[in-house]
Structure 1
Amino acid sequence: MVYEDILYSVSDGVAVITLNRPDRLNAWRGEMARDVKAAMRAASDDDAVRVIVLTGAGRGFCAGADMNMLQAIQSDGASARAAAGPADFDPQARADFRMQNSWFPAVPKP
């Protein structure tokens, strides 16, 4: 899969997901949420992956929300939310692990 805001690699059983917007201190936006979720799914489904590392390129892991994205939500909330993709990561997970921003605990690998 081609990702817009992250880098994804697997080596020796380790999947590395790198937030890749160093010019913006890896500020989080809808496209990044979609990419991270898809990469987490790919790593979870890959039997060769035993562990997942989430990191950031450049001098900061993640500066938080991209302020430009927040302005877009204010003017057109539906399109910004749609970029994050479907809410459920694992439909079998606890209900509180299936929400848009609380799905990380449903990832079955450390």
Structure 2
Amino acid sequence: HLKRFGRDRIDGPLTKIDTPVEFSVDLDLQAYLAQPDMDASYELYGVVNHHGSLGGGHYTANVFVTSTSDDGEGPTPPGGEWFNFNDSRASQASVEDLDHRAGYILFYRRRAKRRL
């Protein structure tokens, strides 16, 4: 969860924070583990975005899809692909389309549970 709402002062009004936040598609937390022999490699698979202001805004999502489609037409391309979801619309996207100014919640999944 990225803190996107805050106050300028202790008693000030809440405001939307639009500062870009750099987040990686690959996240390695191995250096922070008590047991350094465990793999702690994660991959980004979803981003919830908030567009607009504190008083009114809109949520969209970017999701990395890796499984077979529901229509049975077969799997997604090797490795998967990104999609953008905006209300009832879904469109193909790319990792370059991820909005670092609007990212609100990041979803990571562990790549593997194996010993190094």
**Is TM (by shorter chain) over 0.5?**
no
- Shorter-chain TM-score: what band? under 0.3
TM-score (norm 1): 0.24
* Larger proportion of helix: 1
Q: Given the two structures, how large is their TM-score scaled by the length of structure 2?
A: 0.23
